[in-house]
Amino acid sequence: MRKLFIVACLVSCIKIAAQSSSSDSGTFLIHKFEQHIGREKYTVTKNANTLKYNIDFAYTDRGSPVTLKAMLQLNPNLQPLAFTIKGGTSRFSSVNDSVVINNKTVEMRIDDSSFNEPLQQNSFTIAGYSPATAQMLLIQYWKKHDKPANIHTIPFGSVQVRIDGLDTFSFNHNSLILERYVITGLIWGNELLWADKNGQLYCLITNDAEGDKQEMMLDAYESLLPTFIDKAAIDGMRLFINTAKPSSQKHDVIAIKGGTIIDVVNKTSIPGGVVVIENGMIKSVGTANTVNIPSDAFVIDAAGKAILPGLWDMHSHFEQAEWGPAYLAAGVTTVRDCGNEFGYINSIQKAIDDGHGIGPHILKAGIIDGKGPYALGIIQADTKQQAVEAVQRYNENGFVQIKIYSSMKPEIVKAVCDEAHRLGLTVTGHIPGGMTLQQGVDSGMDMVNHVQYVGSVMKPNKADSLIYFDDSTNKGVLEFIKTHHVVIDPTLGVYELVFRPLKNSITSIEPAFSTLPAPLQKIFVNTGMEDERYLRYGSILMKNYKAIVKAMYDDGVPIVAGTDMDFPGYSVDRELELYVESGLTPMQAIETATIIPATVMKQANITGSIETAKRADILIIDGDPLQDIRNLRKVVTIIKDGNIYDPLQLHKIAGFNVK
């Protein structure tokens, strides 16, 4: 009897508690390169006056743990009452904010700074792409408050939310109908989210604070992730293609006259040049007295301007659709995507090639890693058979190159290279841990990403830690790279950004910084190192890396310009400026972003220079880049596939702050 009485009391207590409060929870699985790297779990406690969400967000990216805790307190109308968020938002960034709302006053603490402001109408507390729970509550708030056109976000900024349509998915032999949402203003560009009619989030496709694509999936539906990724690529392009159409003109015949043609093959320039284009191909090149302009041509007057081949970025990661117009606006007409999600980059490339998207030509390098705690992505090979199958899969889907990543075993590197070469593909990538550059090349690697792998096998001077090229070890490294015809993309701009002294204005390396979308400015302005560390470490590495680039170029090593992302589009300009700072002439620097990459990627017969019968990938700039390489930033016209683009309109499409 006593046991029954106790049970009855417990049941009664539970019923009473349930009437006053209840709790719920949910879990999102976090992915990068489709690889499950962590999870976000939320619990919500409800009572008559508040809903309190406690969130634990944690993942491990290439061996680096990233943890974040957040709390959102809302009233039953989903209006925010309090918000705290503290922890990592990527391997290299963090956040520490808190908000309390009292009597229509917002009390905020951002790191060590505190301040107040009046509560604006239609306000919600959120601080970036993470956690996903906050974005789920944001769309619920938006729906509950009559779908306002703009939501003021606390502590900073504003966002726009809209329903973009309905999508039907097949799951467990049933139809799953979800609303597709677009959020702009929280990160650079558009985020895509899918939720049910009650606002329960199923999938969020976003970009983290490193600019890498990241997905968060409601745990029970993880198997649908590849479908969502493919849709995100197609929908991302579609979101601005209608806006993009007015920014381009298409003409069967185009003539550019009066400008100075930069001839990267003969390393000279042609003043008063004329270029005739028919159906997207270069028909004739010369001067006004040697080239006839057809009477039906659309004429572009380039007097006082320079006419160049479209630029290449040989180390791209096309993580979102907005990279397309951002690249074109900077005069980049071809990129090598150096590792991406399989389905995403296929869909992005197809959308552009089919005219349903806007962006440069894409050459795809398929990434393969080995298994282990530092692995990246889901395409991994630990056996020779796995290596062969991965290479064949990429080859069958139009990839022209394989990219090796850092966790691959040495014997698997050779298996990858052997199969790639058998199929006519080349191999680039990182030098995996435990290997040297020489061992990677001896295993079959044709190209190497990042100058650090060259520097790591060179011998610095003990007195000043600088690398000198009269040393026999360093001479031997250069000779090895040259005789093995190894192609290097140095990515100097990445190192400059990471090593830069934070006390210096970032405009010294990116003069157009103020035009970048606000979410990108927040990321880049805090990237760098303290002055003491820069002087002790960063400045020495930058001197060495610049010296290596100059020595390799002088020794005949093919150098190709690659950025590894950074400032979208503009980073190609900065990469070339750094080559000139390293000692290359402006013409030599321009070669690294035109004819040299076209040659090493076996495309020189169709692109890479302004020559008859080549593809008309052309940019026109206001100034002479051979006098000052910084003039490359003054793009006035871009031509790709017979389409004439205005860089100002392209930048607007990509969300840049231009006028």
- The residue behind tokens 């677009």 is 182
- List Cα–Cα distances, 235 to 109, 188, 239, 325, 345, in angstroms: 37, 16, 6, 15, 13
Q: Quick one: which of 330, 360, 321 has its CA closest to 189? A: 321
The CA distance from 609 to 432, in Å, is: 34
407 within 8 A of 370, measured Cβ to Cβ? yes
- List Cα–Cα distances, 439 to 13, 405, 406, in angstroms: 70, 15, 14
**Buried (b) or exposed (e) across 383-393, using 16+ Cβ within 10 A?**
eeebbbebbee
- List Cα–Cα distances, 650 to 139, 236, 645, in angstroms: 29, 15, 7
Question: pLDDT at position 92, please?
Answer: 84
Domains of the chain listed by start with CATH number: 20-245 (no CATH), 281-653 (3.20.20.140)
- The residue behind tokens 């939320």 is 42
Q: Quick one: which of 437, 429, 443 has its CA closest to 365? A: 429
The CA distance from 335 to 575, in Å, is: 14
Q: What are the backbone dihedrals phi and psi of residue 72, each rounded to the nearest 5 degrees, phi first? A: -120, 130
One-character DSSP codes across 377-441:
SS-B-SSHHHHHHHHHHHHHTT--EEEE-TT--HHHHHHHHHHHHHTT-EEEE---TT--HHHHH
One-character DSSP codes across 162-209:
EEEEEEEEEETTEEEEEEEEEEESSSSSEEEEEE-TT--EEEEEEE-T
- The residue behind tokens 């630990």 is 382
Spell out, as residue ranges, where the chain has pLDDT lower than 70.
Answer: 1-23, 242-247
Question: pLDDT at position 2, please?
Answer: 36
Helix (H) / strand (E) containing 442 = helix 437-442
Question: pLDDT at position 243, please?
Answer: 59
The CA distance from 313 to 572, in Å, is: 6
588 within 8 A of 579, measured Cβ to Cβ? yes
The CA distance from 481 to 541, in Å, is: 20
Question: pLDDT at position 1, please?
Answer: 36
Tokens coding 611: 């020559």
One-character DSSP codes across 509-543:
T-TTGGGS-HHHHHHHHT-SB-HHHIIIIIHHHHH
Radius of gyration, alpha carbons of the chain: 27
**Buried (b) or exposed (e) across 16-40, using 16+ Cβ within 10 A?**
eeeeeeeeeebebbbbbbbbebbbb
Amino acid occupying residue 595 = I
- The residue behind tokens 């991406």 is 340
Q: What are the backbone dihedrals phi and psi of residue 151, each rounded to the nearest 5 degrees, phi first? A: -120, 125
Helix (H) / strand (E) containing 18 = helix 2-20
Question: pLDDT at position 5, please?
Answer: 33
CA dihedral in degrees (236, 241, 244, 248; nearest 10)?
130
DSSP state of 493: H
Helix (H) / strand (E) containing 346 = helix 342-353
The CA distance from 489 to 366, in Å, is: 17
Distance of alpha carbon 217 from its chain centroid, rounded? 21
Angle, nearest 10°, between helix axes 342-353 and 225-244?
A: 30
